[in-house]
Structure 1
Amino acid sequence: MFLIQDKETLNSCKENVITDGQFILHYPDIFKIFECLQKFFPEQLISESAAVALECENSIPSIIVLLYLLEKGYSFLLLPKEVKTSQQLDSQQPIPRFCRYRLRAESLTEEGKAVSLEDPNSFLQILKNEEWIDCDRGKNYAGKKLYMRTSGSTGTPKIAVHSHANVLSNSLNCVERLSLKGDDRVAIPVPIYHMYGLGAAFLPSVAVGASIDIQKGANLLRYLQREKEFNPNIAFMTPIFCETLLKGRKSSRAYKLTVAAGDRIREDTFGKYESHFGCLVKLYGSTEMGVIAAANPEDSLEVRLQKVGLPMSGVQMRVEENQAETNDTIGELWCHHKYGFDGYVDADGMPKHENQDSQDRWFRTKDLGRIGLDGYIEVLGRCDRSVNRDGLLTIFSDVEKAIETIEGIESVVVESHGESQRGKGLIAYCVLAKGTNISEADIRASCFNILPKRAIPDYVLIVNSLPMLPNGKVDRQKLIAMTDKQEEMNLIRR
């Protein structure tokens, strides 16, 4: 198989399973289903030269098709599974014009019965893309390609292109750094159509033949039920889900390892989580670069708390100094990844040249950080999440950490909006803990005691919850839109 490349690993994992709670799939069964798909695809006139789009969710039918496309060397784009409502039965989001077909794998038939995995006609829909154009991709990024959309958390989503070979090498990097083994039982409650869920969690787990529980639409109750039935010893989570589990689980439980990636994880959450559930490591990466760095489970708690770890094999990092900062060890992180992406394409599959983001194969991460003398990387936040105020650099994550120490604050996100007397304006969006009764004015008044003047937010806005993207990151564009709406209604107060 694409990932399991030696017979010893394949033989050792024969009794291991991949499950979604509905289907239980043993590794040898994968090859039987591949044989069925190998007959089905030619019948549908889908050649290996055709680029396709796969609507992918955390389900066995979806991952079977995903693994088959990798195994047979198809070029394909991963998309989230489209959710249909009774009012929108015929709606579907447009796919790029270079994708000739849209593939949609279902777990249930129209009659509500479980599909047969050995009958592709029962679980796999093939939809022609009416906007398809016959572009010559051979002149662009030739070979077996995986296309992935960036999250769009800081701008318009792009389509990044990866070779299958680099996807494999990226996955094996994770196997080595995280010490994944064939006898591990891995819970994946994060979407596998994102690079974190796919390249750091799912594919590395498949590579060692581990048992895997892929969870669709995971929430606390569903996760705890699946945890009880599957009994995982490794889990891949977002920081938000780590906090949810910490608050919602009444008893401690020892995991061999929990991996967290996405937004910043609070220091108090990190310590409490580790005391209740065992070793927690951070993982750092992007859609374009795959996994850039990760902590070693053997690193000390202090190191894992402050750093994201050493660069992965084949990765070099450098810091481009920020002239506004007196400490010249802080600056923008640039990455050279041997197994990174090939570039971006547009909707027609034609290369898009983002010169400002790439120089001589060095990729601009747009993250602010520092690299220690020992090579360990510390990520301080997005570059666009820091501004000059009173002529000095103000990093939003530092402001957030300080505000989180105020009693009654459950979580906070700081963003720049408008102008102020000190420079760029700052807004703090605060979610209050249950039973807390403090005002926006109270929070801002407390900021004067814990922050330097330049870092005190100009406005504080209490919100019921933070809008989230499917990958577990805060949807900052929605927060800004929320601010604009509030300004129009004159509800923002000093």
Structure 2
Amino acid sequence: MGRDVQAGRLMTPKTFPDRLRALAALHPERPALTQAGLSVSYSELDHAADYLAQSLAEAGAKADTRVILMADNSAAYLAAAVAIWRTGAVLTTLYASSLPDEVAYALENSGATLVVADSRAAALIRRLEGHPPVQILDDVELFGPSATVQTKPNTPAAEVDPAALALICYTSGSTARPKAVMHSHAGLLDAADAYAAVWHLSASDRTVVCLPMAWAFGLVTTSMATLVSGGEVLILARTKPDLIIDAVSRLRGTFLAGVTTMFVKLAERLEELEVQPNMSSLRLCISGGEPRNEPVFARWTALAGCPVHDVYAASECFPAVTYDPHQDPVPVPGSSGKVAPGAQMRIVDDAGNDVPSGQAGEALWRGPAHFLGYWKDPEQTRKVLTADGWYRTSDLVSVDERGYVFVQGRLSDMIIRGGSNVSPAEVEGVLNAHPSIRSAAIVGLPDEHYGEQVVAAVILQPGTRLDAEDLRKYCATRLAGYKVPGEFIPVDSLPVNPRTEKVDRRALKASLSKEGSLA
């Protein structure tokens, strides 16, 4: 598999579009994508990508140009990504929920000469002054019963250097401006292959993809990793619990990936249902992007019959840390797994020296998809790369004697109380295990005596009342005194990033400060 014959010679595809071509030749009728009743075979996906590539090339897409793709998850989205690559242009992804000023910034920053968008995104872009030409992406046109997809004969794809820039991915914005992460063709394919190998993905897998395909987690880690394995992608445009449950119970999804918050909502929804759906097709669940919530994962496992393993990576470098579910059928509580095959990790102190085994420090990575830098931002690129090329994660982690990695939190999220560091993830892990707590988030707010105070925003279990003293005593038996929250604030919900579904600590901190809860 993965070998193609061109010009009378046997070759190994070194880019994802070439791999898709080889798979379409080997298994033309095999289902590749399923979406709301629409089924797309490998040959149909390959053919649609050629059709779009031809259209985009005629509109000016070519090597060294950037083409923005802004749309909800769909079969057409994946076809468009491949099409952009086949023209030799650089795929430049934007979240479909991006605001006008974010889109305007990306258009100016990328210098994109063409935009491919669904109808909703196209309407926004066309309201912006000086926008480039926009092509509408339409699933029905490409794959519907009356599709008129035709390609001109003998229209070859552009010759693409595997080392060339393939992707500019605008992050979800933990900084004032989203960072534009650059990856090569070879790096993306290597990452997809690495995930497929460590998770043992195969042609029998049906992967539920509800994460945005504008995020590497949705595009490469799940969708591309499934397709390079000959599997089928079950596409959802939203991370709505009912849609996900249906994709597993009715469509028999085998692999589900998401963030911790998604599994919280799924567990809650399953507990609400009078008749439990059949989730027995699931063989692999992966959570990433947020600290583990072991009590929720235990509830999910009891309801769905499949444990939640972990993946720990960054848009800049992946894969990095995850589980091989065959070697570890049950995840180690609190751990993100082990360093993935093909990846490397160092743990260093503030001076950049490797720390002793078992000691916490900043994680540095090298991996199959090691980013090429930030587009038009050499200064920021230098800040996150060491002199010898390691990616600085800004995460505090430790590794036990068996090689399991434990993430203690973002260095930028650390609360400094009286000169001592407090990891929000550690405190959250303790609180989430309390029987009255459904979910908790920890932030630091100003304190005139100690610099910062540890504050817990908590969602209570139904039918329970906040007992701050009980929670304080509970934490005091499990945490050092300076880590125990000084305030417990009940909330109905926690703010989340609308693109990634991660808890938005900055928004929570601003909300609590604005409400004057600690005045």
Determine the structure 1 residue equivalent to 2:112: 99
Aligned equivalents of 1:410, 1:432: Cα separation in 2: 5
Query: Residue 230 of structure 2: SS of its match in structure 1?
Result: coil
Out of 458, 480, 484, the residue aligned to residue 509 of structure 2 is: 480
Determine the structure 1 residue equivalent to 2:158: none
- One-letter amino acid of the counterpart of residue 468, structure 1: V
Aligned equivalents of 1:338, 1:278: Cα separation in 2: 28
Query: Residue 217 of structure 1: SS of its match in structure 2?
Result: coil
Report the CA distance between 1:49 and its aligned residue: 3.2
Maintained 8 Å contact 1:107/1:115: no
Maintained 8 Å contact 1:387/1:394: yes
Determine the structure 1 residue equivalent to 2:294: 267
Determine the structure 2 residue equivalent to 1:339: 369
Determine the structure 2 residue equivalent to 1:405: 433
1:52 aligns with 2:73: no
1:237 aligns with 2:292: no
Determine the structure 2 residue equivalent to 1:219: 240
Determine the structure 1 residue equivalent to 2:217: 196
Aligned equivalents of 2:284, 2:486: Cα separation in 1: 40
Determine the structure 2 residue equivalent to 1:356: 383
1:36-435 superposed matches below 5 A? 36-82=51-97, 93-97=104-108, 98-106=111-119, 115-117=140-142, 143-153=164-174, 156-249=177-270, 250=273, 251=276, 253-254=279-280, 255-275=282-302, 276-300=304-328, 303-321=331-349, 329-346=359-376, 351-359=378-386, 360-435=388-463
1:463 aligns with 2:491: yes
Gaps of 5+ in 1: 125-140
Report the CA distance between 1:3 and its aligned residue: 5.8
Maintained 8 Å contact 2:56/2:87: no
- One-letter amino acid of the counterpart of residue 221, structure 2: A
Q: Structure 1's 158 and 288: CA in aligned 2 closer, same or farther, altered over 3 A?
A: same
Query: Residue 96 of structure 1: SS of its match in structure 2?
Result: helix
Determine the structure 1 residue equivalent to 2:43: 28
Maintained 8 Å contact 1:307/1:376: yes
TM-score (norm 1): 0.84
Q: Structure 1's 436 and 156: CA in aligned 2 closer, same or farther, altered over 3 A?
A: farther
Q: Structure 1's 428 and 190: CA in aligned 2 closer, same or farther, altered over 3 A?
A: same
Aligned equivalents of 1:91, 1:159: Cα separation in 2: 12
Q: Structure 1's 66 and 473: CA in aligned 2 closer, same or farther, altered over 3 A?
A: same
Query: Residue 444 of structure 2: SS of its match in structure 1?
Result: strand
Q: Structure 1's 114 and 379: CA in aligned 2 closer, same or farther, altered over 3 A?
A: closer
Q: Structure 1's 142 and 228: CA in aligned 2 closer, same or farther, altered over 3 A?
A: closer
Moved more, 161-170 or 382-391: 382-391
Q: Structure 1's 154 and 40: CA in aligned 2 closer, same or farther, altered over 3 A?
A: closer
Report the CA distance between 1:291 and its aligned residue: 1.9
Determine the structure 1 residue equivalent to 2:33: 18
Report the CA distance between 1:8 and its aligned residue: 6.7
Query: Residue 230 of structure 1: SS of its match in structure 2?
Result: coil
Gaps of 5+ in 2: 1-15, 124-137, 150-161
Maintained 8 Å contact 1:52/1:75: yes
Determine the structure 2 residue equivalent to 1:438: 466
Maintained 8 Å contact 1:321/1:328: no
How many pairs align?
462
Cα deviation, 1:245-293, whole Å, max 9, x if unaligned, reads 2232253622111111111121122233334322431011111112211
Q: Structure 1's 411 and 159: CA in aligned 2 closer, same or farther, altered over 3 A?
A: same
- One-letter amino acid of the counterpart of residue 69, structure 1: I
Maintained 8 Å contact 2:93/2:170: yes
Report the CA distance between 1:479 and its aligned residue: 0.8
Aligned equivalents of 2:368, 2:290: Cα separation in 1: 25
Report the CA distance between 1:68 and its aligned residue: 1.6
- One-letter amino acid of the counterpart of residue 471, structure 1: T
Report the CA distance between 1:20 and its aligned residue: 1.9
Report the CA distance between 1:172 and its aligned residue: 0.6
Report the CA distance between 1:183 and its aligned residue: 1.6
Aligned equivalents of 1:486, 1:147: Cα separation in 2: 38
- One-letter amino acid of the counterpart of residue 141, structure 2: S
Determine the structure 1 residue equivalent to 2:3: none
Report the CA distance between 1:76 and its aligned residue: 2.1
Maintained 8 Å contact 2:65/2:90: yes
TM-score (norm 2): 0.80
Report the CA distance between 1:233 and its aligned residue: 1.3
Q: Report which structure shows greater RCO (CA 8 Å, sep ≥6).
A: 1
Query: Residue 471 of structure 1: SS of its match in structure 2?
Result: coil
Identical-residue share of aligned pairs (%): 20
Aligned equivalents of 2:19, 2:382: Cα separation in 1: 37
RMSD: 3.3
- One-letter amino acid of the counterpart of residue 31, structure 1: D
Report the CA distance between 1:22 and its aligned residue: 4.8
Maintained 8 Å contact 1:175/1:205: yes
Maintained 8 Å contact 1:61/1:123: no
